[in-house]
């Protein structure tokens, strides 16, 4: 056997741990025993979790993996997903419980109870039926964070139609590509959206996108900003309120097969057209509900939950709509940006609604750090119990800041690793059980199996780095790529086809305790003089310096070392730029990295920038920074949250150097 090189060098070490408090552990939803129980009989474990839902017909088989990698979970079972998320709570006497505390960006608010949600979803379902929408039809939804977005998704689920939610900020061409690929029959959008205190048109973009789109029969338009002259296509366009208000608020949900398709959600690959990730009903809802219950320790009727994700990201699907509503959540949904009208907006909302469970992304935590700890300090955050993180590895320093300044050193932090493809959380601490470590997602959840393997697919030992794989099927897993079975096999199952492992595309390592640390996408791994270095580790070392708020590193071609590490850093609010841009300050940062993780990881170059290029889910687009580092023309920027960022970076570098 030839010796296999590890996929990644394991450089950064972190030894802080935080045990759960006894008081929290005593009441926690999760128990330490559930790992062993699930290990003993994985399928029996998931069957018990499926009992959280209402099934019209019980399944006859838990898992059918005979046609791998196409899974079937809860075979023969029938259920209605929307009934599970709404109606059954009303029937159980909780109709008056608030499901959604909605907060509009301009300051308008709306509380929606479960009874109201049931009526709204029923009306919307009847409205879609009146337009000829039937089970398995595709409905594209491009909406901002307004209640209608959630209502429209649930209305689709209720009648067995599939939704395909597209980010409110996506360009006309991105929308068109997704509408065409899914052959959507209906598009739901709004007249306009509030963004940073201003109303911006939305319908006009949708019209541009849909010119000549043959599959689209009707466009439903929610009135939000009250634009004066909304462009209108008679015969195709309908006001949402006119259609929906005319409908009966009664609708009897039909039970669909456990494997009935629920939605498509597009995720952009590094190359090629976006992939339409397909999710189905019974297994998906089971895992979304179980993980929301166990990972957030959610207690229905007591907690107030807030997931700050956009509905256009999978986190909005699984942890605003399906998991939480299946668990009878009371949740905050906020329409706008975190600094409108001021940088304390999130803390003000937490104080007002007494939010107890808060779930956000590292990018936002680092932004809050940059704005300064004095801002959250002005608000009463004592209602908080659990803090969550998702979307990227969270740097240990950001984790510590989150714990101290938001969590008052008392709230467990759950760093949740998962993907659009996995449907739900896969690797995460369990609050009340896990001794947490800043920066580590730690262990696969009960019922989930993951491994870190080397190039040949052999599990690496403690302290080793490699590729993260999922070696057993799980209920919420994707059921394929819409319309492209071959691409599904090729993308996820070919790298370790011999072993039958799903390859997620992420690098990871085990620490000395066997806990998992995520190290970023393997496409981003840097190779310096033969050492494979993770972007995450170098970024975390930079962020641990008191002057740095955010950092992104890339490998740029280097004549001597193969690649050289180039770092882009954003400074904390209180650091003067001219001072930190000075040669001495840059030198200090380079030495700091060297001291934290070793001379091999010392950046060749560090550039101070005002912003970093990010997707709408907050992921740094390192590909674009590589273009800057290698002095190339900047590539495709259509999936950036803010497409002007690259200009800002380039012009800043010119004037600063």
Least Cα distance to 42 among 556, 591, 472, 418 occurs for: 472
> What span, in angstroms and rounded, lies between the C-alpha atoms of 518 and 507?
6
Query: Binder to ligand 6R9 among 300, 505, 562, 573 (CB under 6 A)?
Result: 505
- C-beta of 315 vs 356, nearer to ligand 6R9: 315
CB 551, min distance to ligand 6R9, A: 15
The answer on whether 198 is annotated among ligand-binding residues is yes
Q: Give the Cβ contact number of residue 559 at 10 Å.
A: 6
Which helix (H) or strand (E) segment holds residue 571: the answer is strand 562-571
Residue 391-430 contact track with ligand 6R9, rule CB under 6 A, x = bound: xxx---------------------xxxxxx----------
User: Is cis: bond before 341, omega within 30 of 0?
Assistant: yes
CB 420, min distance to ligand 6R9, A: 3
What token pair was written down for 96?
């008056």
> What span, in angstroms and rounded, lies between the C-alpha atoms of 250 and 164?
25
The answer on whether 443 is annotated among ligand-binding residues is no
Residue 518-557 contact track with ligand 6R9, rule CB under 6 A, x = bound: x--x------------------------------------
Q: What is the DSSP string of 510-574?
A: E-TT--EEEEEEGGG-EEETTEEE-HHHHHHHHHTSTTEEEEEEEEEEETTTEEEEEEEEEE-TT
> What span, in angstroms and rounded, lies between the C-alpha atoms of 429 and 416?
8
> What span, in angstroms and rounded, lies between the C-alpha atoms of 641 and 42?
40
Residue 617 interacts with ligand 6R9 (CB under 6 A): yes or no: yes
CB 400, min distance to ligand 6R9, A: 16
Q: What is the DSSP string of 18-38?
A: BPPPHHHHHH-S--THHHHHH
Q: How many residues line the site for ligand 6R9 (CB under 6 A)?
A: 21
Residue 639 interacts with ligand 6R9 (CB under 6 A): yes or no: no
The answer on whether 73 is annotated among ligand-binding residues is no
- C-beta of 367 vs 416, nearer to ligand 6R9: 416
CB 182, min distance to ligand 6R9, A: 18
Query: Binder to ligand 6R9 among 122, 126, 267, 442 (CB under 6 A)?
Result: 267
The answer on whether 464 is annotated among ligand-binding residues is no
Q: Provide the H-helix boundaries in 133-272.
A: 147-159, 172-182, 203-210, 240-245
Number of residues written out for the chain:
657
Using an 8 Å Cβ cutoff, are 347 and 115 in contact?
A: no
Query: Binder to ligand 6R9 among 164, 315, 356, 563 (CB under 6 A)?
Result: 315
- C-beta of 117 vs 357, nearer to ligand 6R9: 357
The answer on whether 509 is annotated among ligand-binding residues is no
Q: Provide the H-helix boundaries in 51-146.
A: 81-82, 88-89, 114-130
> What span, in angstroms and rounded, lies between the C-alpha atoms of 102 and 92?
24
The answer on whether 308 is annotated among ligand-binding residues is no
> What span, in angstroms and rounded, lies between the C-alpha atoms of 344 and 500?
48
CB 217, min distance to ligand 6R9, A: 30
Scanning residues 116 to 145, which ones bind ligand 6R9 (CB under 6 A)? none
The answer on whether 416 is annotated among ligand-binding residues is yes
> What span, in angstroms and rounded, lies between the C-alpha atoms of 210 and 212?
6
Integer CA distances (angstroms), 61 to 43, 57, 58, 75, 571, in order: 9, 12, 9, 5, 55
CB 518, min distance to ligand 6R9, A: 3
Residue 506 interacts with ligand 6R9 (CB under 6 A): yes or no: yes
What token pair was written down for 586?
């840059």
Query: Binder to ligand 6R9 among 112, 174, 243, 504 (CB under 6 A)?
Result: 504
- C-beta of 160 vs 613, nearer to ligand 6R9: 613
The answer on whether 392 is annotated among ligand-binding residues is yes
Q: Report the SS3 class of residue 612.
A: coil
- C-beta of 194 vs 517, nearer to ligand 6R9: 517
Q: Which residues are annotated as a binding site for CoA?
A: 195-198, 315, 339, 529
Q: Which residues are annotated as a binding site?
A: 195-198, 315, 339, 391-393, 415-420, 506, 521, 529, 532, 543, 545, 548
Q: Which residues are annotated as a binding site for Mg(2+)?
A: 543, 545, 548
Task: Give the footprint of ligand 6R9 on this chain (CB under 6 A).
Answer: 267, 313-315, 390-393, 415-420, 441, 504-506, 518, 521, 617
């Amino acid at each position: 056997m030839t010796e296999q090189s590890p996929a990644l060098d394991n450089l950064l070490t972190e030894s802080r741990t935080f045990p759960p408090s006894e008081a929290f552990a005593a009441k926690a939803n999760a128990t330490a025993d559930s790992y062993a129980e699930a290990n003993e009989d994985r399928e029996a474990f998931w069957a018990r979790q499926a009992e959280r839902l209402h099934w019209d017909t019980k399944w006859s088989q838990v898992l059918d993996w005979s046609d791998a990698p196409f899974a079937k979970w809860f075979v023969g079972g029938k259920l209605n997903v929307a009934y599970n998320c709404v109606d059954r709570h009303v029937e159980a006497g909780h109709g008056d419980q608030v499901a959604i505390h909605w907060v509009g960006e301009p300051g308008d608010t709306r509380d929606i109870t479960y009874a109201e949600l049931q009526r709204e979803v029923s009306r919307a379902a009847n409205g879609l039926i009146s337009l000829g929408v039937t089970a398995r039809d595709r409905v594209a939804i491009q909406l901002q964070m307004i209640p209608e977005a959630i209502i429209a998704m649930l209305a689709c689920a209720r009648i067995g139609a599939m939704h395909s939610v597209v980010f409110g900020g996506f360009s006309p061409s991105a929308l068109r590509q997704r509408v065409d690929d899914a052959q959507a029959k209906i598009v739901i959008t709004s007249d306009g959206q509030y963004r940073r205190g201003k109303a911006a048109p939305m319908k006009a973009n949708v019209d541009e996108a849909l010119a000549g789109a043959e599959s689209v029969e009707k466009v439903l338009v929610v009135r939000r900003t009250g634009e004066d002259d909304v462009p209108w296509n008679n015969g195709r366009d309908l006001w949402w309120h006119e259609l929906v208000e005319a409908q009966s608020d009664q609708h009897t949900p039909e039970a669909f097969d456990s494997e009935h398709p629920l939605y498509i959600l597009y995720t952009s690959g590094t190359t090629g057209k976006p992939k339409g990730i397909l999710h189905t009903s019974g297994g998906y809802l089971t895992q979304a509900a179980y993980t929301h219950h166990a990972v957030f320790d959610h207690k229905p009727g007591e907690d107030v939950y807030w997931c700050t994700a956009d509905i256009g990201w999978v986190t909005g699907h699984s942890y605003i709509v399906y998991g939480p509503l299946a668990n009878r959540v009371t949740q905050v949904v906020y329409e706008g940006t975190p600094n409108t009208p001021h940088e304390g907006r999130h803390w003000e909302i937490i104080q007002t609604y007494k939010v107890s469970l808060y779930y956000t992304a590292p990018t936002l935590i680092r932004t809050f750090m940059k704005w300064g700890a004095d801002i959250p300090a002005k608000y009463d955050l004592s209602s908080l119990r659990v803090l969550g993180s998702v979307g990227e590895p969270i740097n240990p320093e950001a984790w510590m800041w989150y714990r101290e300044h938001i969590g008052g050193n008392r709230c467990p932090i759950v760093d949740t690793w998962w993907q659009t493809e996995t449907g739900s959380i896969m690797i995460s601490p369990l609050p009340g059980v896990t001794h947490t470590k800043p920066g580590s997602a730690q262990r696969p959840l009960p019922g989930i199996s993951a491994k870190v393997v080397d190039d040949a697919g052999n599990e690496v030992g403690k302290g080793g780095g490699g590729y993260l794989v999922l070696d057993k099927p799980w209920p919420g897993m994707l059921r394929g790529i819409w319309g492209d079975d071959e691409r599904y096999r090729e993308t996820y199952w070919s790298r370790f086809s011999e072993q039958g492992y799903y390859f997620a595309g992420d690098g990871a390592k085990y620490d000395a305790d066997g806990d998992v640390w995520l190290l970023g996408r393997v496409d981003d791994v840097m190779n310096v003089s033969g050492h494979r270095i993770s972007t995450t580790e170098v970024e975390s070392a930079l962020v641990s310096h008191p002057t740095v708020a955010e950092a992104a590193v890339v490998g740029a071609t280097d004549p001597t070392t193969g690649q050289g590490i180039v770092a882009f850093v954003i400074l904390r609010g209180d650091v003067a730029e001219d001072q930190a841009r000075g040669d001495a300050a840059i030198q200090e940062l380079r030495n700091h990295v060297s001291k934290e993780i070793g001379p091999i990881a010392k950046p060749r170059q560090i550039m101070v920038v005002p912003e970093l290029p990010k997707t709408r889910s907050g992921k740094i687009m390192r590909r674009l920074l590589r273009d800057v580092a290698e002095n190339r023309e900047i590539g495709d920027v259509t999936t950036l949250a803010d497409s002007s960022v690259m200009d800002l970076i380039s012009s800043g570098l010119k004037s600063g150097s």
